[in-house]
């Protein structure tokens, strides 16, 4: 349970810069996910924290102590790799004991701690098996137990669920989350799966091109993305580019094509006198033509069990709407879309607020 602070972390590989000055603080016992597309620098960040990569600039602090120059074996970190990285020539029990042996823990204590760790990940019957004779999910739990048995200060996980099938992945999500809460260990979790990041984390850190785009709790990232790119990366986003007709201290009046009007809480329009607002698919309702804010025509309809996904052509471009299965709207039908003004999110202007 250690606080981790990254201060303007820079990592360059020759001319290419993988991390362009990352600053982030992870609190005691907090579960933080690094989320972003492939190549954005998630693994690099983790490797820098673990000490497998030397940082080019900046600092890494554990509980206010600069550990940037410490060797990986001196950082007291538990790490879980995407490939699990189990020692193939050691049994499950030997894999778990390795870290304790390195710490010169007495033999009898090793035995009890290994037994406890195996129980924790429900692998007691597999103690004498070699990794090859375990399923992917079991290997994954061994990797987790091996990282935790040494009771490290920090737990780092790099896409630990990427090699599992969907069902097992869901199961392991809950498992890791519960375990982390129970042990109370400060955790940094790398994933490119936004669902995973949302369900597991206390805070999600969205990264693009070696920079942090937003670091906030899952609801905040989902409902109030800091930029259009974040909005589109985290879930499905409808972005409407609307003209601002009026503005006061409390909000802005927006005009929709076709005569509709909306009012949103917004500090300022973009520099060009327009505002880009985001509406999540489930925040838009389908109504009869004439009602609602914006007219449109259903171009595609996909049934997906719990709900129905509609692709609607509108004067604001194609939008995606999630509707309940109780409502039946056919492809080609003319409809109107009703927005919930309170939930519309005006996307901040990347060039800063216009005056």
Partner 1 sequence: MKRLRASLLIAPSAALIFLFIVLPYITVLVMSFRAPAEGQPYGEGFSLEGYTHFFNESYYAMSLPQTMFLGLLTTLVCLVLAYPVALHIAFASKRWRGFLYGIVLSPLLVGIVVRSYGWTILLGNSGVINSTLRNMGLIQKPLPLMYNDFGVVLALAHVFLPFMVLPLLSALQAMDPAITQAARSLGASRFTIFRRVTFPVSMPGVQSGCILVFVLAISSYVTPALVGGMRVKTTTLLVVDALIDQFQWPFGSAMALILAVSAGIVVLIFARLTRMKWT
Dihedral (Cα; 206, 211, 214, 215), 10-degree rounding: 80
Nearer to Mg ion, 43 or 95 (CB): 43
229 binds ligand ATP (CB under 6 A): no
Query: What is the per-residue binding string for partner 1 in 44-63, x denoting contact by CB under 8 A?
Result: ------xxx-----------
39 binds, among ligand ATP, Mg ion, partner 1, none (CB under 5 to 8 A by kind): ligand ATP
Q: At 38, list the tokens.
A: 């492939």
H or E stretch covering 319: strand 317-324
d(CA 297, CA 312): 5
For residue 280, give both structure tokens.
Answer: 């999540």
**275 three-class SS:** strand
Near partner 1 in 192-231, by CB under 8 A: none
Token pair in block for residue 199? 């369900």
Scan residues 167-206 and list those touching ligand ATP (CB under 6 A): 192
- Residue 43 binds Mg ion (CB under 5 A): yes
Cβ nearer to partner 1, comparing 85 with 268: 85
Of residues 116-145, those binding partner 1 (CB under 8 A):
130-132
Based on the shown chain and the rule CB under 6 A, indicate whether residue 16 belongs to the binding site for ligand ATP.
yes
Q: Is 283 in contact with 222 (CB distance < 8 Å)?
A: no
Stretches 14-22, 146-154, 164-172, 328-336: which one binds partner 1 (CB under 8 A)?
146-154
Distance from the Cα of residue 156 to its chain's centroid: 14
In the complex, what is the shortest distance from the CB of residue 215 to partner 1, in angstroms, rounded to a whole number?
A: 25
Question: Minimal CA–CA distance to 255: which of 244, 265, 247, 264?
Answer: 244
**43 versus 266: smaller Cβ distance to partner 1:** 43
Judge whether 258 and 221 are in contact, CB under 8 Å.
Answer: no
Beta bridge partners of 214: 206
DSSP character string of 335-346: EEEEE-TTT-EE
89 binds, among Mg ion, partner 1, ligand ATP, none (CB under 5 to 8 A by kind): partner 1
Q: Which residues bind partner 1 (CB under 8 A)?
A: 50-52, 71-73, 75, 77-79, 81-83, 85-90, 98-99, 102-103, 130-132, 146-147, 150
Q: Which residues bind Mg ion (CB under 5 A)?
A: 43
Q: Which residues bind ligand ATP (CB under 6 A)?
A: 13, 16, 18, 36, 38-44, 192
């Amino acid at each position: 349970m250690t606080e981790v602070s990254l201060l303007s972390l820079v990592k360059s590989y020759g001319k290419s810069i993988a991390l362009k000055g990352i600053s982030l603080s992870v609190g005691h016992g907090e579960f933080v996910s690094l989320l972003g597309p492939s190549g954005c620098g998630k693994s690099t960040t983790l490797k820098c924290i673990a000490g497998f990569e030397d940082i080019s600039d900046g600092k890494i602090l554990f509980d206010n102590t600069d550990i940037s120059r410490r060797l990986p074996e001196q950082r007291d970190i538990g790490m879980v790799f995407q490939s699990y990285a189990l020692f193939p020539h050691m049994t499950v029990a030997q894999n778990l004991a390795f870290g304790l042996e390195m710490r010169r823990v007495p033999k009898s204590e090793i035995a009890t701690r290994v037994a406890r760790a195996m129980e924790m990940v429900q692998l007691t019957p597999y103690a004498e098996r070699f990794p090859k004779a375990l399923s992917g999910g079991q290997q994954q739990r061994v990797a987790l137990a091996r990282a935790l048995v040494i009771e490290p200060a920090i737990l780092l996980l790099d896409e630990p669920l990427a090699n599992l099938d969907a069902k097992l992945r869901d199961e392991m999500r809950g498992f890791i989350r519960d375990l982390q809460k129970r042990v109370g260990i400060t955790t940094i979790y790398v994933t490119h799966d936004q669902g995973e990041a949302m369900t597991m984390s206390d805070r999600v850190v969205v990264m693009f091109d070696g920079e942090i785009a937003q670091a906030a709790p899952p609801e905040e990232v989902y409902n109030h993305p800091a930029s259009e790119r974040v909005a589109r990366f985290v879930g499905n986003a409808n972005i409407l580019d609307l003209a601002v007709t009026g503005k006061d201290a409390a909000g802005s009046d927006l005009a929709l094509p076709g005569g509709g009007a909306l009012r949103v809480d917004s500090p300022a329009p973009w520099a060009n006198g327009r505002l880009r607002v985001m509406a999540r698919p489930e925040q838009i309702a389908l109504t009869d033509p004439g009602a609602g804010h914006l007219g449109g025509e259903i171009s595609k309809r996909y049934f997906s069990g719990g709900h129905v996904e509609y692709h609607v052509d509108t004067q604001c471009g194609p939008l995606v709407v999630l509707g309940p299965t109780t409502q039946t709207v056919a492809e080609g039908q003319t409809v109107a879309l009703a927005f919930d003004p309170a939930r519309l999110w005006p996307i901040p202007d990347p060039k800063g607020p216009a005056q």
